[in-house]
Structure 1
Amino acid sequence: MSNSFVRIVLAVGVSCIAFPTHAQSGADTYKAKCQMCHAADGSGSTPAGKAMKALPLNSPDLIKASDADLIAATTNGKGKMPAYKTKLTAAQIQETVTYIRTLQK
């Protein structure tokens, strides 16, 4: 094996470790970041959700809200809900909103 080939293989291997390409799915992000308040089913029926008066995700107001509205609320926070702009990427927030839409059916 040539030195160049070994360097290329190592560079590719290290870049895969340093920069994972597998994005966390919306469901995984929801479970990790949202479920403690909004509940697994989106009902908001957890102790934290009740204390913060979290809206059920299938409420008419949230069903009517656009994806852009939900993304803005998640990114910047709204009411008692904290902002996630420093905790999640834009892609993770979009994937989570897509997952939330499945809970509204």
Structure 2
Amino acid sequence: MHLALLLSLSVATAAHADETTTEVWTAKCKSCHGPDGKAQTQMGKKEAIVDMSQPAWQQAQTDADIREAIAEGSPRNKKMKAYKDKLTPAQIDALVAYIRTFKKG
């Protein structure tokens, strides 16, 4: 009985974490990177932001690279501000995992 309760709490927590990551992406990232990481937004096109769904980009960037860009801001585009003071390390890690879901094929 305790195991069933624990499992249901774990599933509920995981679902909440996914929802929170989606909310963070929508609030902080989507306006430039788009809903799918392709950067087909007005700002994404204006700033020539890279398509994060491209296999070459996904291969070239390590999780640490992505984490650093989120935490410290992008070395490639100075308009991307640092989020280390606005997001927790867990939220940043969740965004890295979320970005990895954009990978094509």
Residues in 2 aligned to 1:63 and 1:75: alpha-carbon distance in whole angstroms = 20
Tell me which amino acid in the other structure corresponds to 2:31. Answer: M
Deviations 1:4-29 (A, max 9, x none): xxxxxxxxxxxxxxxxxx75632221
Deviations 1:12-70 (A, max 9, x none): xxxxxxxxxx7563222111111000001111010011112111112313433111110
Matched, 1:50 2:45: yes
Aligned residue runs from structure 1 range 63-78, under 5 A = 63-78=59-74
Unaligned runs of at least 5 residues, structure 2: 1-15
Percent pairwise identity:
39
Structure 2 residue aligned with 1:96: 95
Which of 8, 30, 40 is residue 25 of structure 2 equivalent to?
30
Residues in 1 aligned to 2:59 and 2:82: alpha-carbon distance in whole angstroms = 20
Aligned residue runs from structure 1 range 76-91, under 5 A = 76-78=72-74, 79-80=76-77, 81-91=80-90
Unaligned runs of at least 5 residues, structure 1: 1-21
Tell me which amino acid in the other structure corresponds to 1:55. Answer: V
Residues in 1 aligned to 2:102 and 2:57: alpha-carbon distance in whole angstroms = 14
Deviation beyond 4 Å, 4+ runs, structure 1: none
Tell me which amino acid in the other structure corresponds to 1:39. Answer: G
